Structure 1
Amino acid sequence: MFATITVTESVRLKSVRFCASVALTHSLAVHLKSCDNIVQARHYFARPMMDGADPNLHEVRDPAPFLGVTCSLNGRYWLCAAADERATLALCQRTGLPDMIAQVLVRRGVSPDTVESYITPKLLYSFPDPFHLKDMKSAAERLAVAIMRKETVAVFGDYDVDGATAAALMKRFIDAAGGQTVLYVPHRLNEGYGPNAKALLKLQSIGASLVLMVDCGTSAFQPLALAMKAGLDIIVVDHHKAEVQLPRAVAIVNPNRADETSPYGYLAAVGVAFMVAVATHRILQKSLWYTAAGQPSPDLMRWLDLVALGTVCDMVPLIGVNRALVTQGLKVMAKRSNEGLKALTKVAGLHDRPESWHLGFLLGPRVNAGGRVGQADLGARLLSTHDPREALSIAWLLDSYNQRRQKIENDILLKALQQIDACPALQVPLIFVAGWHWHPGVIGIIAGRLKERYHRPACVFSLEGNVAKGSGRSVPGVDLGAAVLAARAAGLLESGGGHAMAAGFTVPLAHLQAFRSFLLERLVPTVCLTPELYVEGALDPAGATLSLVDLLRQLGPFGSGNPEPRFVLTNVRVIQSKIVGLGHVHCLLVGNSGARLKAIAFRSADSDLGCALLANNGTLMHIVGVLHRDLWQSRRVQFLIEDGAYA
């Protein structure tokens, strides 16, 4: 019998007892019982593919743990794939790159023939023909007609960064092409995720004849049917996994449609929106619209900063065209030509040239904050405004909402961790926690925090009335979105959808136990109890130089699918340590050579890793992390700690 949740139902279903009965399937329990330790148990589960791995990597797989670490302080099994020597030598000879950098490239499947396009990806060579996507022709033609006829186009977005950037991009394009737009983002608490019939009919009442839905709509069967019946045209531009049956619409452009044959399912919604803009732009050019209307032809490349922001923050793989979109988008962002992004970087204290991690950790959370705990449309409004005063006002408001979000998040995260500590079975092999009236705007972040902490999929629920609104985050190799779609098809959910790494769902409380059992049964074969951490090799603090940092930066942009190269500082001692900010551990490491290196472990103060660093007792340790320029003192190197083990 799978883990179960007992729902004690009173008049208002006042309590949910998650620890009533937790058990693994009989066959799995028997197998685990026979294992001597968790290292053996890990082999029962399929190993997820190495982050950013290519099936054609020139590497030699070594199952032996690197430095003998089978269960680190963060519960990871360390591995180091040896790069093929001949391939490494060939790459060094072709490029003149140091051996260490060439090895990293070889492990990522880069050859002498592809190294230039990898290090300097260009849209000229990688951007696909947008008309290869199903329904693109119908979508672009209808949107072009709306622009030329001056119809009011309602851009209907989601409240996360991907949705906000996609909505802002489409609004900017339509306005620049001579069209007319209104922007609409539903309120998270009052309206929920995605389109609703009331909002669509309201948009029609104020003159909209076409609704362009971005980052939502693929699963909105009833609202779209009602809107189309009322005479409102609908175009869906999305990337979430779709069922075989699609809702009624003029066009549904989604590379993750069941009948889609193009290989671009890894695009974020803003990437799909950019393709729609390109396709529509081509039709308008072919129709000589810009000349006839006396309208300057817009330069679509100037909006790649929005594409980069949405792509990085939605954590889609930075491979293929995504890599080129983000690379070029970061260059555009460095010019600070978007008034909203210019204001946001000022408020966030980002004065240097932006890198992908700035987008994910500094800018993205602020754009998200309005949709999470404030006004849902603030992010899209910020990114689409041309008024510098309005931009700065919204940016400061989002910053204040972000601070509020952090407090709410910390309070709920503490409750979730207490729930798990009280019932450890809640985390094997899927984390599943819930609480009454937890703020729906932060449960997705909580799921992400729990996933990072326990290295397995996490689902977090806010209980309201007789329903549970949930959000889930997954790990590489575990397709949560597909599992949620299957659960919805099985009648367990009121609504739900997502992609491989993230999903959202609404579950009747009466079905919550069955939903967890369904996920456990579907996900158990693909979850690794002791997840693997891949590293590039060993490094002494003396070798952590600015020149190495700059060489490694050439391998970016980094993110999902293309992680930053991780190195192990071997046999180092912690000689200073303290807690800073919101539970971060700042420390000073010293190696055998006597070289010192500043380091920080984010959100780790209450973890085993953080406790070991704070002990500061001179014990020899191996520390895993990535090299960065110091955020505040850019002429110094800082080591961002991800894991550690005693030497």
Structure 2
Amino acid sequence: MGAWPAAYVRLRESTYNLATGSRGGAPVRSTSLAKVAFESREDGAAFLGVRASARGFHWRERLRPELRSLATAIGQHHGLPELMGRILAARGIGLEAVPGFLDPTLKSLMPDPSALRDMDKAASRLADAIEARQRIAIFGDYDVDGACSSALLNRFLSHHDVPSRIYIPDRLFEGYGPNVGAIEALVNEGARLIVTVDCGTTSFEPLAAARKLGADVVVIDHHQADERLPEVEAVVNPNRQDDVSGQGMLCAAGVVFLVLVAVTRELRRRGFYRSTREPDLLALLDLVALATVADVVPLTGLNRAYVKKGLAVMRARENVGLTALADAAGLTTPPTPYHLGFIFGPRINAGGRIGNAALGATLLSTTDPVEAQKIAELLNRLNKERKDIETTMLEEALAIADRQMTDDPSRAMIVVASETWHKGVVGLVASRLVERFRRPACVIAWEAEASRSHEGTGSLRSVPGVDLGSAVRAAVAAGLLIKGGGHAMAAGLTVGRQNLAALETHFLTQLGTVMVAVNEAAGLDIDAALVASGATVELMDLIERVSPFGQGNPEARFVLPAHRVKFAKVVGDTHARVLLEGGDGARLDAIAFRAAGQPLGDLLMSAGGMPLHVAGHLRRDTWGGRDRVELQIEDAADPRRQP
């Protein structure tokens, strides 16, 4: 390859030779976005000509040709740099929606809670319980969303001096959702109202048992639902089929927050707060933000406001549990969505995976700093143990998956199972398989042979465009599962050994056609090209205006064209740490997580000083009071070896 193709807008300060990384061309006036370049090409062309990257991706410009005029209009109308206009337009943000997207507020994005089906019924029943000081049991899920949802409701009730008890089922012995034994125990303890959070939508028998024993039930959930619902006081779930609120993207904690708004409004209407201080609901948004990021729901609409405002609350360090967890993890910088998903989330989950399932909810609920510190340190230790278990399981699962993919490279889904695997870690292993093979995965842990049970517990993870929740519900309807449920990107199930083959066939049949379309559309979307010297703190400030990033709002992805790998080594057994150098001698630290031993890591390690195109996200790193920027590598390509 020669110099920049004519189809590219040239770098603002210099022109680069893509094959050698050498500098040439006359400098032009520098701007705040110097050294950022954009492609101008026909739709379908490969970005920088990359049709076969290390990870097998076709690189393409994220901004479609028909949106270029919108990108220009956004920049001109709102006084934003060209890069911002392109990033916003590529993510489907309209001209008039830009201010609300860059500065999301609860006031503008939160719906009237009553728009959700059964919301008024739930608010009325909870208000009754608060006025009467009735004992309330909170039945939550054992993941981060369940822990945050439980803590939200517990903190709200504690403010009103209402006795409440959080019950989180044991992942290994009770499984997901309410069970008859636990419900009976809660009623016998004196609970007159049971509120299920992040579960309950499909728990017909256990919730019927509660009603028979004289307890009312309110379900607050977000998982996909069939037409039939439990016969309870209220089912508040924006994903029930008759709900038209348009809030189906919320996690359970996001729905719980709306319920708390509705209950507060109902109590205010009744005059309850004439003698009692109203709760500060905004102070609870740190828990909503954590759940929203950890549950990987789309960071669009109300969820953007939840996370943006919740991070601000979290930085005040008022929740003693979150503060203790940050300290235990050694976090010394203000939390970001990355920290919520990869520092806080795994530690809270660790209790439910291999320890006491209630630890996370207890930590997030407590106001005792001493108790919080003890729980946080325990969760930190459990998280380390979880990592060791996950490593062993992943090696075994990869061996099985490799055989499956060798036998059928077009296989729509990975399905693996073993008697030696830990039920609490199957979801994490499923996520790793999805990363490796870019297709849905189901990982099942069978009960031991000595057990009289012939059942297995499975977790499923998906790829964008493939709805696993529907496939699992169809398997339940077909009699292939003992139970199962979830949403588009993640689901869980319980299956009998005798049905495994039929279940696998069901998934492959259900998802085959969809996966063909997904694979045909597979590619790595690129926002712009960037040289190492352009990866500045000022650029990070600009990019972060579009945050929070996550599902539905992908991070800006840049390519460093024709940069040489000056240094490379494996760190932490699985990560590749490299130093990239541009043609002008500028250097940028970079890391590729879990790339060692994989095609991406092999290419980086064997580059031998030859220029590579390297794609990834920029990360801000604060160390010793100084801000610096590094690249988190997602992919790389050799420009000399493109078809």
Task: Verify same fold: TM over 0.5.
Answer: yes
Residue 149, structure 1, aligned to residue 156, structure 2: no
Q: When the two structures are aligned, how many residues end up with a matched partner?
A: 587
1:288 and 2:271 are equivalent in the alignment: yes
**Equivalent residue in structure 1 for 2:393, among 406, 412, 426:** 412
| 2:192 is aligned with 1:209 | yes
2:631 aligned residue (627, 630, 639): 639
Query: Which amino acid is the alignment partner of residue 519 of structure 2?
Result: L
CA contact (8 A) 1:357 1:559 kept: no
Tell me by how many angstroms 1:93 deviates: 2.2
Looking at structure 2, the residues matched to 486 and 112 of structure 1 have their Cα atoms a distance apart, in angstroms, of 41
1:398 partner amino acid: L
Q: Match of 1:94? A: 77
- 1:68 corresponding residue in structure 2: 49
- The percent of aligned pairs where both chains have the same amino acid is 48
- Which string of whole-angstrom CA distances, capped at 9 and with x for unpartnered residues, describes residues 582-634 of structure 1? 41111101122221110000111121101111224112211110011125465
> What one-letter code is carried by the residue in structure 2 that aligns with 1:598?
D
Partner residue of 2:487? 499
In 1, distance between residues paired with 2:635 and 2:429? 20
**Of 281, 287, 295, the match for 1:314:** 295
Amino acid in the other structure paired with 1:300: L
Structure 1 residue 476: deviation in Å?
0.8
Q: Which of 222, 235, 245 is residue 262 of structure 1 equivalent to?
A: 245
Q: CA deviation at 1:172?
A: 0.5
1:526, CA displacement in angstroms? 1.6
2:593 to 602, 607, 611: 602
Paired residues of 1:577 and 1:616 also in contact (CA < 8 A): no
Aligned equivalents of 1:282 and 1:81: distance in 2?
Answer: 43
Q: Equivalent residue of 1:442, what SS? A: helix
Checking the alignment, whether the CA contact within 8 Å between 1:239 and 1:265 is kept in structure 2 is yes
**SS in structure 2 opposite 1:630?**
strand
2:366 alignment counterpart: 385
Task: Say whether 1:469 aligns with 2:453.
Answer: no
Distance apart, 1:141 and its partner CA: 0.6
The residue that corresponds to 1:221 in the other structure is 204
Describe how 1:327-346 pairs up with structure 2 within 5 A: 327-346=308-327
Q: What is the aligned counterpart of 2:546 among 555, 558, 577?
A: 555
Q: Distance in 1 between matches of 2:175 and 2:238?
A: 24
The SS at the match of 1:441 is helix
Q: Aligned match of 1:119 in 102, 113, 116?
A: 102
Aligned to 2:502: 514
Distance 1:524 1:63 in 2: 24
Contact conserved, 2:63 with 2:89, CA < 8 A, in 1?
A: no
Q: What amino acid is the match of 1:645?
A: A
Are 1:426 and 1:433, in contact at CA under 8 Å, matched by a contact in 2? Answer: no
Q: Matches of 1:61 and 1:121 in 2, distance apart?
A: 34
Report the equivalent of 1:481. 469
Matched residue, 1:440 = 423
Instruction: Give me the whole-angstrom Cα distance separating, in 1, the residues matched to 2:150 and 2:52.
Output: 44
Q: CA contact under 8 A between 2:113 and 2:262: conserved in structure 1?
A: yes
Aligned to 2:215: 232
> Is 1:429–1:529's contact at 8 Å kept on the other side of the alignment?
no
In the alignment, which of 349, 355, 375 is matched to residue 336 of structure 2? 355
Residue 288 of structure 1: CA displacement? 1.1
* SS of aligned partner of 1:524: helix
Deviations 1:67-106 (A, max 9, x none): 2322321122211134644323322223332211221111
Task: Tell me by how many angstroms 1:162 deviates.
Answer: 0.4
Q: Does 1:524 align with 2:524?
A: no
Q: Aligned equivalents of 1:197 and 1:150: distance in 2?
A: 25
- Which segment is superposed worse, 235-244 or 342-351? 342-351
Per mean C-alpha deviation after superposition, the further-off stretch among 70-79 and 244-253 is 70-79
What SS does structure 2 have at the residue aligned with 1:641?
strand
Greater mean alpha carbon deviation, residues 396-405 or residues 346-355: 346-355
Check the 8 A contact 2:404/2:414 in 1, yes or no: no
Other-structure match for 1:421: 402
8 Å Cα contact 2:559-2:614 kept in structure 1: yes
CA–CA separation in structure 2 for the residues paired with 1:218 and 1:299: 29
Code of the aligned partner of 1:267: L
TM-score normalized with structure 1 length? 0.89
- Identify which of 525, 536, 559 aligns with 1:534: 525
CA shift in 2, pair 1:502/1:426, >3 Å: farther
C-alpha separation in 2, matches of 1:205 and 1:638: 56
Secondary structure of 1:386 counterpart: coil
Stretches of structure 2 that go unaligned for 5 or more consecutive residues are: 1-39, 448-452
Distance in 1, Cα, partners of 2:377 & 2:336? 22
2:164 to 133, 156, 181: 181
Residue type of the alignment partner of 1:329: G
Structure-2 residue corresponding to 1:248:
231
Deviates more, 1:370-379 or 1:528-537: 528-537
In structure 2, give the amino acid aligned to 1:241: Q
Write out per-residue CA displacement over residues 8-62 of structure 1, whole angstroms, 9 at most, x where no aligned residue.
xxxxxxxxxxxxxxxxxxxxxxxxxxxxxxxxxxxxxxxxxxxxxxxxxxx9971
Are 1:564 and 2:545 matched, yes or no? no
Residue 612 of structure 2 aligns with which residue?
621
Residue 196 of structure 1, CA deviation: 0.4
Q: 1:402-429: per-residue Cα shift (whole Å, max 9, x none)?
A: 0000000011001111122334237722
Note the C-alpha offset of 1:461. Answer: 0.8
Partner residue in 1 for 2:31: none
Which amino acid letter does the alignment assign opposite residue 474 of structure 2?
A: A
Supply the AA of the counterpart residue of 1:401. L
Structure 1 residue 580, shift from structure 2 partner: 1.1
Tell me the alpha carbon deviations over residues 436-477 of structure 1, each in whole angstroms, 9 at most, x when there is no partner: 131011100111111112111111111124222110000111
Partner of 1:8: none
SS at match of 2:533: helix
Determine whether 1:402 maps to 2:394.
no
Q: Cα offset for 1:434?
A: 1.3
Structural mapping, 1:20-31, within 5 Å: none
Residues 267-326 of structure 1: CA distance to partner in whole angstroms, max 9, x if unpaired?
Answer: 0000000011111111111111122xx321111000000000000000000011111111
Q: Take 1:61 and 1:503, find their aligned partners in 2: how far apart are those partners?
A: 39
Between the aligned partners of 1:558 and 1:509, the Cα distance in structure 2 is: 40
Report SS of the residue matched to 1:589: strand
